[in-house]
Structure 1
Amino acid sequence: MQIYISGSLAFDRIMTFPDKFSNHILPDKLHILNVCFLVDGLEEKFGGTGGNIAYNLSLLGEKPVLLSQVGRDFAAYDTWLQEHGIGAEGIRTVEQEFTAGAYITTDQADNQITGFNPGAMKYPCQFDMTTIDSADALGIISPGNLGDMMDHPRYYRENAIPFIFDPGQQIPAFSGEQLVQALDGAEILITNDYELEMILKATGMTKAEVVERVAYLITTLGEKGSVVNCKGQETHVSAVPVSSVVDPTGAGDAFRAGLLKGLAMEKTVAEAARLGSVCAAYAVEHKGTQEHRFSFQKFTKRYEASFGPLE
């Protein structure tokens, strides 16, 4: 099965301020705010929802196709993806733009100031969807270009290709009507519990009405695991114990990669979600979204320690 990932590719540029922001902001002068924070260097990490999912799938032995868009500064990230067997045939380069980037400054109290430049993500990826073999394909639409997030579900739906809709942080950018159109007919709608409430509020639908429009609804609950809902029948999937919680950022994308791997192995959705739990555990134990490593053999042993044989 060929997996197609619609989603962002981005640089995370992380800076640490060795003090507290509050010591340098005058509350009575917020109307003329003008501050400069001298940071302790800069770390550049590869990220974006599409890139994170693809990276985790590569660790699981898959070679997904990324449908995304990048800018003229993408060379280092491109090399990283190629090293992990992820090709660029579905990635559009927009030469007049930079690749999407998050600029994150964290102070000693763990407060953050973030600026996000969508850059090339403002443009659709323009992938020729007709080249997809509908008999052997699985798609996931994760946060990225808004046009792609509407167009790709429509194509999958019209061509009977199963797809996962994962709107995530882009939920507020859609109208309620657009969300209904995009999720309608999805094999799986996946959100965390807060995002699900946002969808219900935006669309005016009840949870039961959402469940009727998709084959499965998966709600992730962090350390409490996840719930797989099939037409009102719920199955709880536990989280996998971790050695330490270092950084939960990227755990959701890792979960989605494990889920996709399970579906590619023709597991049930609940069984596939168990693979998602294992993959998420690796991400939580490392700082950054593409810093963890594992072999499929080690992954299998960890799975079996929590859930029994992976047949």
Structure 2
Amino acid sequence: MSIVLTGSIAYDYLMTFPGYFKDHIMPERLDSISLSFLVDQMVRQRGGIAPNIAYTMALLGDKPLIFGTAGEDFEDYRQWLESHHIDTTYIRVVPGVFTASFFANTDLANNQICSFYTGAMAYARELSLETLQSRPEMVVISPNDPVAMDRYVEECKQMQIPYVYDPSQQIARSDPDELRRGVDGAYSLFVNEYEWELLQKHTGFSAEFILHRVPLVVITRGAKGASIYWQASEVDVPAVPVEKIVDPTGVGDAFRAGFLRGWRLGFNFEICGKMGSLAAAYCLEQRGTQSHYFTVEEFITRFRTHFDDAGALEVMKQPTV
């Protein structure tokens, strides 16, 4: 199954605050909040939802294709992606603007306050899936320019291409009608447990309605693992214990990558969820969204250690066609 990954392409500016945000927030003054956090660490790393998912999929032996827009500062990033066997053919570089940028400040409790600069991502609405030379079997519509996301939803419906709807960070920014169109017609929906509640609030759709309309719904729950709903049946998968929590940024993207790779290989959804949990653990143990690394053999060994399933991933040892 061929998968096209649409979504933001960005640089991440990751900062660490040596305290707790909660100690500086006064609930009775939220209408006039004014805060500045002095951070003691900052790194600039490659990020963006589509490349993050693609990177971990590539580690797992896939050759993903990214569909999106980047700025004139993208060339080094392109070389990095291509060196990891990621197809950048359909990444359009927009002259005169910079690549989108994500600014994340993380406190000692791993809570985050984030901002996102659109940059070249705003031009994603000008791209059309109809320009793809071959029809994909699945399109992932992850956080991007909201107009672009809505366009890809409509194009997938018109072209009868199944799509994974992953609105996550853009739920707060997207128009409720856009969110309703994205959900109603999706083959699969990916959200975390907070976004699950927020999505219901913004769309007016109940949980029962969404679970009835969308065949596959995956809700990640942090340290509690994930819940997978497939045609009214539910499977819960646990989180994989980590050696040390370093940075939560990009963990959800790694989970999606592990799940999608398992899906592409034809595993059942429980195995896909467990692959997602393990991929997420690797990301959580490193700073940044594309700093983790493992071989397929290492991934299989660690999977069997935590899930006690000696034969589940045997097919991963075979070369990808």
The bucket for the TM-score relative to the shorter chain is 0.7 to 0.9
> Is the alpha carbon distance of 1:307 and 1:225 closer, same or farther for their aligned partners in structure 2, counting shifts above 3 Å?
farther
Structure 2-normalised TM-score? 0.85
**Superposition RMSD in Å:** 3.0
Aligned to 1:198: 198
Q: Distance in 1 between matches of 2:303 and 2:41?
A: 38
Q: Does 1:167 align with 2:160?
A: no
The amino acid across from 1:297 in the alignment is E
Contact 1:90 1:127 in 2 (8 A): no
Displaced runs of 4 or more, over 3 A: 14-21, 33-37, 39-42, 103-115, 125-128
- Structure 1 gap ranges (5+): 22-30
CA contact (8 A) 1:91 1:125 kept: no
C-alpha contact (below 8 Å) 1:59/1:294 kept by paired residues: yes
Native 8 Å contact 2:110 2:248 kept in 1: no
3-state SS in 2 of match to 1:304: helix
1:14 matched to which residue of 2? 14
1:123 aligns to what SS in structure 2?
A: helix
User: Is the 2:17–2:37 Cα contact (8 Å) retained in structure 1?
Assistant: no
Deviation string, structure 1 residues 11-50 (Cα, Å, up to 9, x no partner): 11235678999xxxxxxxxx9x89896x767521011111
Q: For the residues of structure 1 that align with 2:194 and 2:44, how far apart are their CA atoms?
A: 29
Task: Map 1:74-85; keep pairs closer than 5 Å.
Answer: 74-85=74-85
Counterpart residue number, 1:302: 302
Is 1:178 matched with 2:178?
A: yes
Map 1:188-267 onto structure 2 (within 5 A).
188-267=188-267
Query: Could you tell me which amino acid in structure 2 is paired with residue 117 of structure 1?
Result: Y
Supply the distance in 2 between the matched residues of 1:193 and 1:36 (Cα, whole angstroms).
Answer: 27
Within 5 Å, give how 1:22-171 maps onto structure 2: 42-104=42-104, 114-124=114-124, 126-130=126-130, 131=132, 133-134=134-135, 137-171=137-171
Relative distance call for 1:302 and 1:69 in structure 2 (3 A) is same
The AA in structure 1 aligned to 2:74 is: F
Structure 1 Cα separation of the partners of residues 188 and 291 of structure 2: 27
Query: Cα distance, 1:157 vs. partner?
Result: 2.5
> Which stretch has the larger CA shift, 84-93 or 153-162?
153-162
Structure 2 gap ranges (5+): 22-31, 315-321
CA contact (8 A) 1:90 1:125 kept: no
Once the two structures are TM-superposed, the CA of residue 67 in structure 1 deviates from its matched residue by 1.0
Distance 1:177 1:20 in 2: 36
The alignment of Structure 1 onto Structure 2 pairs a total of residues equal to: 305
Distance in 2 (CA, whole Å) between partners of 1:301 and 1:35 is 44
